Structure 1
Amino acid sequence: MFTRTAISILYEALAISPAVLLSGARQVGKSTLCLGQDREYRVFDDLSEREAALNDAIGYVVSLPKPVTLDEIQKVPEILEGIKIDIDKKRINGTFLLTGSANVLDMKKAKDTLAGRIIEIVMWPLSQKEINGKHEENIIDALFAHGISGIQATGISYDALLKAILSGGYPEIQKIESVRGRALWFNSYISTYVERDIRDVGELRDISAFIKFFNIIAPRSCGLLNKSDIASDAALTEPTINNYLSMLEMIYQISLLKAYSSNVSKRFIKSPKLYMTDSGVFCHLLGVTGLEELHESNHKGNIFETFVYSELLKHTSYSISQPSLFHYRTNDKKEIDFILEKGNKTIAIEVKASHTVKKEDFKHIADFQSKSTQKILGIVLYSGEHILPFGDEAGERYAVPLSVFF
């Protein structure tokens, strides 16, 4: 059993809000977390519960013992109206804990967003900190509070790093040691859960076209989103592409990272970058199953970057500092994988899969620092063992091992 970072956030949210939505992809551990609470528990996978709620949402909510957890809320988004009416009659914090494998607040059927009555918490697959029993450690908060002195390398082996990247963060996959077993689980996950949840959140007339689309966008993780190219390769219209992308975001399988822009330059690329949200699913869709395959893969750089993005996504989501996360790219091809920004503090992060780092690897970070009026901490994440300084009078720059995530 893994202790989840989201548990303390959940307790705090229930103490200050009448309703809390714990959303996230299937199999990330939402139900396990909620079943540990001393509350009435109902799940809308149960057909009778679902029919009762659909038939009379207001009466169903009134009849519930409270406080109550309502699991798989995306199956009955109409119930939000009944919850709103119940809260407005008697507002008691912690009354409703809702969970969903899709962002129900973005669904077309959810006419009322419970504005002012609900707090949403996104629960991601396990972070490496959670897997290693360090759920209270947050490297984003540490970096913004203390700079480079707030983090430390943990000295994991290169093979252990590759295995973690191949496995990703879903709790069940952590129990499976064999290559075949992992492949069977990922195949089942995609066919059983991803396809089913897609049907829950939107109109899907052609599941075969969607699966083809899903496999086409997978290799594009870490790339700029180009809808016309995807539409051409998938033989789909651009409106259909928009619909599929939106649905995949709603069930937390992909994430679109916004482009950074500021007064530094007007020559920024504005397109978002597309990322798979789990490196294990990403590797599976690429057909990369073993340590040697990952080490030799032409996609190795993108796989490492996807892994780092998934970790940054978890740490920023759970952080106290709550910085904004961007990618950086200019028209003259200066690129930085990630920019974290909060107030007057900025952190620029580049990802390298190699064991060594050279001064040249910091050139775009150094250029970014030279154009900014504020101090920017520059980091190149790599597969080595030690935190090494590469800065000068223009700014702080460090090579940082990927083991800081563990």
Structure 2
Amino acid sequence: MLDRIIENELKTTADEYPVITIIGPRQSGKTTLARKLFQHHAYVNLENPELRSLALDDPKTFMLRYPAPVVFDEIQNVPELLSWVQVAVDEKPELTGGYILTGSHQLQLREAITQSLAGRTALLTLFPFALNELEKEYTQMERETLIHNGFMPRLHDKNIRPGRFYRDYFQTYVERDVRKLMAIENQQAFELFLKLLAGRIGHEINYSGLAGQVGISAPQIKKWLSLLEASFIIFRLPPFFNNFGKRMTKSPKIYFVEVGLACYLLGIENPEQLERDPAFGGLFENMVIAEAYKSRINAGLEPGLYFYRDRYQHEIDLLYPSGSFFIPIEIKSSRVYRGEFLKGIRYFQKLSGSKQSGMLVYDGDLEVDREDAVIRNFRNAWRI
């Protein structure tokens, strides 16, 4: 069982709060993590129909049967239970780490927690494996293999073929969660929408353009995007809005939480096909930005990530928080370093008046610390 970087943050918060809530994508390892770190807690899986019925029909008896310390897995199935957890916690103000909750629906859980557990729970998000959580022998494989395989724990633990895994994942979890959160009348249109999104990784969202291709309204496109974000299928990278005296873009970019799922949606069946696919550059960028995202949330921090683009098409792929400044990061799938890769970083440094060093993330062997930027292979960019 591989260690997860977020374990340190989880242990610390368990000594500070009576309730810990772990959210994240389906199959990202939430249950495994909770059971590993809280072995002396009772475990209750609320996907179990009998336990779920008891919790819904007679929550008082349920709470008496399963007192703290306890893990309630998939708590979004019985959000009503959170009010009873609140009562139990308030009766024991000295309690810490007594209730460990896991869930897969961001919007549902956040709303329920805001109502019932505000100030009583720490909220942590668990994404799929980060590169620096996997064995070094594995991460040294070709980038095409890493992207195609993706980073879902069960795929790695059970050595499942990626095509099989992501097909089943899509049909079992994505479609099921979509039906739970919102009635999708036209399933074919929704699948087309997902595939179009996968083909637009790293591009700013054009709501009207997507609506025209899918055959629905722009407001519906926005609802579907929110739905995918709530289900941890995608995340948004917002544009940077600091006033540098230039008109900047207003639309966010979309990336997939799991790049392997994006490969599946694009019909990429093997790493060899990926290397020749025009979507490769965007998928490589997706992998790197997802790693940056994981590095923040695994440390218990808000993502705080942005991209920059102005009307003159000057662009920085990623702005990474560093104190009161941002590290400008350029991402290139090239295996060869070229000085022109740092052009955008220098432009942003001059424009912002920041002396903060930038970073070039690529797939080359040269790694060096320059005055204006550090140069790193993508496998080492987020090592801690």
* Correspondence for 1:160: 142
Cα contact 1:25–1:124 (8 A) shared by 2: yes
Aligned counterparts of 1:319 and 1:35: Cα–Cα separation in 2: 20
Aligned counterparts of 1:16 and 1:303: Cα–Cα separation in 2: 39
* Correspondence for 1:308: 288
Pair 1:363-2:366 in alignment: no
Correspondence 1:49-128 to 2 at 5 A: 49-91=51-93, 92-103=95-106, 112-128=115-131
Cα contact 2:330–2:344 (8 A) shared by 1: no
Query: Shift of the alpha carbon at 1:109?
Result: 6.3
Question: 2:312 is paired with a residue of what secondary structure?
Answer: coil
Kindly provide the CA deviation profile for residues 220-258 of structure 1, in whole angstroms up to 9, marking residues without a partner as x.
121112222211111122332222211211121100111
Give the partner amino acid of 1:160. Answer: E
Question: 1:12 is paired with a residue of what secondary structure?
Answer: helix
- Alignment counterpart, residue 400 of structure 1, candidates 369, 376, 382: 376
Is the deviation greater in 50-59 or in 40-49?
50-59
Kindly provide the CA deviation profile for residues 258-313 of structure 1, in whole angstroms up to 9, marking residues without a partner as x.
11122333422121111111121111211223232222111111011001011111
Cα contact 1:74–1:104 (8 A) shared by 2: no
- Alignment counterpart, residue 44 of structure 2, candidates 34, 38, 42: 42
Cα distance change of structure 1 residues 291 and 203 upon mapping to structure 2, 3 Å threshold? closer
Query: Shift of the alpha carbon at 1:340?
Result: 1.0
How many residues align structurally?
Answer: 379
- Alignment counterpart, residue 344 of structure 1, candidates 291, 302, 324: 324
Cα contact 1:345–1:375 (8 A) shared by 2: no
Question: 1:346 is paired with a residue of what secondary structure?
Answer: strand
Query: Shift of the alpha carbon at 1:322?
Result: 5.7
Cα contact 1:68–1:95 (8 A) shared by 2: yes
Cα contact 2:2–2:133 (8 A) shared by 1: yes
Cα distance change of structure 1 residues 42 and 389 upon mapping to structure 2, 3 Å threshold? closer
- Alignment counterpart, residue 193 of structure 2, candidates 196, 205, 213: 213
Aligned counterparts of 2:117 and 2:300: Cα–Cα separation in 1: 24
* Correspondence for 2:176: 196
Pair 1:7-2:4 in alignment: no
Give the partner amino acid of 1:172. Answer: R
Cα contact 1:105–1:113 (8 A) shared by 2: no
Aligned counterparts of 2:234 and 2:47: Cα–Cα separation in 1: 24
Identity among equivalent positions (%) equals 29
Cα distance change of structure 1 residues 283 and 175 upon mapping to structure 2, 3 Å threshold? same
Question: 1:404 is paired with a residue of what secondary structure?
Answer: coil
Is the deviation greater in 256-265 or in 12-21?
256-265
Aligned counterparts of 1:328 and 1:297: Cα–Cα separation in 2: 26
Question: 2:245 is paired with a residue of what secondary structure?
Answer: coil
Cα distance change of structure 1 residues 31 and 156 upon mapping to structure 2, 3 Å threshold? closer
Aligned counterparts of 1:155 and 1:99: Cα–Cα separation in 2: 29
Q: CA RMSD in A?
A: 2.4
- Alignment counterpart, residue 174 of structure 1, candidates 116, 134, 156: 156
Query: Shift of the alpha carbon at 1:13?
Result: 1.3
Aligned counterparts of 1:345 and 1:93: Cα–Cα separation in 2: 35
Q: TM-score, normalised by structure 1?
A: 0.86
Question: 2:142 is paired with a residue of what secondary structure?
Answer: helix
Question: 2:124 is paired with a residue of what secondary structure?
Answer: strand
Kindly provide the CA deviation profile for residues 68-106 of structure 1, in whole angstroms up to 9, marking residues without a partner as x.
100011111222222222222223111110001222555
Give the partner amino acid of 2:219. Answer: P
Cα contact 1:58–1:79 (8 A) shared by 2: no
* Correspondence for 1:139: none
Aligned counterparts of 1:155 and 1:115: Cα–Cα separation in 2: 41
Give the partner amino acid of 1:122. Answer: T
Identify unmatched segments of 5+ residues in structure 2: none
Aligned counterparts of 1:220 and 1:129: Cα–Cα separation in 2: 27
Kindly provide the CA deviation profile for residues 182-218 of structure 1, in whole angstroms up to 9, marking residues without a partner as x.
2111100100111112233334444333223222212
Identify unmatched segments of 5+ residues in structure 1: 134-153
Cα distance change of structure 1 residues 195 and 403 upon mapping to structure 2, 3 Å threshold? same
Cα distance change of structure 1 residues 87 and 109 upon mapping to structure 2, 3 Å threshold? closer
Cα contact 1:74–1:103 (8 A) shared by 2: no
Query: Shift of the alpha carbon at 1:177?
Result: 6.3
Cα contact 2:25–2:233 (8 A) shared by 1: yes
Aligned counterparts of 1:112 and 1:80: Cα–Cα separation in 2: 9
